[in-house]
Amino acid sequence: MFRVTVRDHIMIAHSLTGEVFGPAQRLHGATYVVDATFAGPDLDADGILVDIGRATDVVREVLGRLHYRNLDDERTDDGLGLAGQNSSTEVLARWVADRLAERASSGDLGPGGCTLAGIEVTLHESHVARASYERTL
Q: Print the domain residue range for 49.
A: 2-136
Query: pTM score, two decimals?
Result: 0.94
Quick one: pLDDT at residue 137?
A: 95
Distance, CA of 137 to CA of 133 (rounded, Å): 13
Chain centroid, CA 1 distance in Å: 21
Contact 44, 114 (CB under 8 A): no
Residue 91 sits in a domain whose CATH number is 3.30.479.10
Q: Is the pLDDT of residue 77 over 80?
A: no
What total number of domains does the chain contain?
1
Mean pLDDT of 1-8: 97
For the stretch 14-66, pLDDT in tens is 999 999 999 999 999 999 999 999 999 999 999 999 999 999 999 999 999 99
Q: What is the mean pLDDT of residues 95-122?
A: 95
Residues 6 or more apart from 75 whose CB is under 8 A from it? none
